[in-house]
Amino acid sequence: MAGFFHGFVRESLPNYLSNLPIPDTFGGWFRLGFKDWLSLVPPTAIVAGLGYTFYLAFCPHGRPQPSAQANHKIRKNEAKVVDNIDIEDIAEKAAFCRCWKSANWPYCDGSHGQHNKETGDNLGPVVVRKKAA
C-alpha cells in the first residue's frame, strides 16, 4: 500500500499533471480541442469538489446553522415558559406538547406530526392519565 502511494505521489500524479493540456498563454485556451477540454474535466471536478468541501467546512455561512433554540413562537416575551396545571383540572387524560410547535400550548395539537414528517424526527407529547379510583 505504501509503495503504491509513494509511486502515485512521486510518479503517476506528476506525470498526469504534466500531460494536461494547459496552455502557456491566455489565447492558448481558445485553441484547445475537444479532447483537450475533455481531459481537463476530471482534475477540474476534483479541484471544485475539494474547494466546495473546504468551503462547507470552514465558511460560517456555507451551510445552514442549526438553531440552538427549541421554542420559536410560544410566549417569546417571557423569560421562561412555565405552565402550572392542577391534576384535578384534567378530565381523564391530557397530552402535553414537547415539540414547542403546538398552537394550543401547553397541550399537544398534533403539530409534532408535521415536524416529524419534515425532519425525520420522532417527537411526541407526554400523556398524563388520571388513575381510575
Q: Are the beta carbons of 91 and 130 closer than 8 angstroms? A: yes
- Least distance between ligand FES and beta carbon 129 (Å): 16
Q: Which is nearer to ligand FES, 47 or 70 (CB)?
A: 70
Q: Which is nearer to ligand FES, 94 or 108 (CB)?
A: 108
Closest C-alpha among 112, 113, 84, 108 to residue 97? 108
Q: Which of 35, 73, 76, 80 is catalytic?
A: 80
- The grid coordinates of residue 8 equal 502515485
Q: Please state, in angstroms and as integers, the Cα–Cα distance from residue 105 to each residue in 48, 81, 99, 123, following that order.
A: 48, 10, 10, 15
Query: What is the binding site for ligand FES (CB under 6 A)?
Result: 97-99, 101-102, 108-112, 123-125
The verdict on whether 76 is a catalytic residue reads: no
Residue 15 or residue 122: which is nearer to ligand FES going by CB?
122
Catalytically active residues, by annotation: 80
